[in-house]
Chain A
């Protein structure tokens, strides 16, 4: 299959696709990396509260110029603004919100997602890498809904959607929906269901590329 002709979704497009599934009034936590770009696409007609694990609800856009306060940062340690209605709290309270099931949606990056919704996203097993986990495990199981934003394939063309994760697990049966540069795939008790995929790719090709069982859930 010649993938070079495919128009894959850009990070911005995947972010915008995810925003379609965030309802008005939702409290959302965005993981570090690609998911943070979602904050650039929040629509003006929906009130969405961003939670930052380091103790802020009502996080606003990145701070610029005079706005910058190095003691007001997001989970990626970048200075941010606070919106009207924002609140500050300590770490035990922040993770009470997370682990106690109060966050509506969390968007995390992923190395692998299994057909059962297992997530591997915190280490690859490279013995030279320094292990680091942060809030990923708490977020993965605590959020009411977990969205994973990732490339569909690795650089060598291997599917990141797998039957069983081979990388160290972040959480078991935690993922609700996978958003990639090729498709949007729901994780359900009866298996993976593809909701939409890029033009130029047939459903059969998507299934072949993914290397796992997927059902066709496209609304025609």
Chain B
């Protein structure tokens, strides 16, 4: 029988290893899997490469992992936040690497990784310092840059509802990177606000089919409003 639901948050992150590359959903705080990140901090894995839109804010989420010295490298589009001190300080001290990626390119590199596409050309960043060192080709009259796909060891996703097959729905703009990242990791771990019986989710409304998901865990506290 297929049973992707795990009993507790610590079990959900138990096999994340040192040096892992981890996709983390979220745009600002919306869709950020805070509980999975806290469990990861407690679990102790270090030397991590984190792929996420932002690099943490206000001492929570990814910022806690960074302050805890667990993150070797950030791959993100917008590390600067009103309270991004955790990242900022380490970056200025040369203690954390940054690969800055335009947001659309980041989304597409992850999408490609999940879809088995090795690399693709995009016009974004042509003529800018983020294109330096990359192959450039003119395609249909447009200068485009070769970008490589991203495939990760783990994806930590915040979803809204999930079932034992790993089917997921999302809430509001908390969706953002979640469905894309869910496809692009060897082990996708989703935290949900509510677990439902198999068949309760309307097939029309499932955003992430369970095929992409390895583990689902329900968090205490439910939906923040």
Residues of A within 8 A of B (CB): 52-56, 68-73, 77, 88-92, 94-95, 98-99, 118, 128-138, 141-142, 168-172
Contacts and interface: CB of A to CB of B under 8 A. Distances in A.
B30 A171 contact: no
Contacts of B123: 99, 141
Interface residues of B, number: 50
Contacts of A90: 107, 175-180, 207
Nearest to B77: A134
A135 B53 CA distance: 10
Nearest to B125: A137
Given A70-B225, A135-B102, A77 B175 contact: no
Contact of B27 (A54, A128, A129): A54
B80 interface: yes
A48 B125 CA distance: 28
A69 B173 CA distance: 10
B175 A135 contact: no
Contact of B176 (A54, A70, A172): A54
Given A72-B173, A90-B178, 12 more contacts: A70-B30, A71-B174, A88-B175, A90-B180, A95-B103, A95-B107, A130-B84, A131-B79, A131-B100, A133-B130, A138-B102, A168-B128
Contact of A132 (B77, B170, B179): B77
Contacts of B43: none
Contacts of A94: 107
A147 B219 CA distance: 44
B28 A77 contact: yes
A54 B30 contact: yes
Interface in B139-183: 170-180
A136 B108 CA distance: 15
Interface in B72-118: 77-80, 84, 87-88, 91-92, 98, 100-105, 107-108, 110-111
B172 A72 contact: yes
B173 A56 contact: yes
Contact of B108 (A88, A92, A131): A92
A99 B100 contact: no
Contacts of B129: 168-169
B122 interface: yes
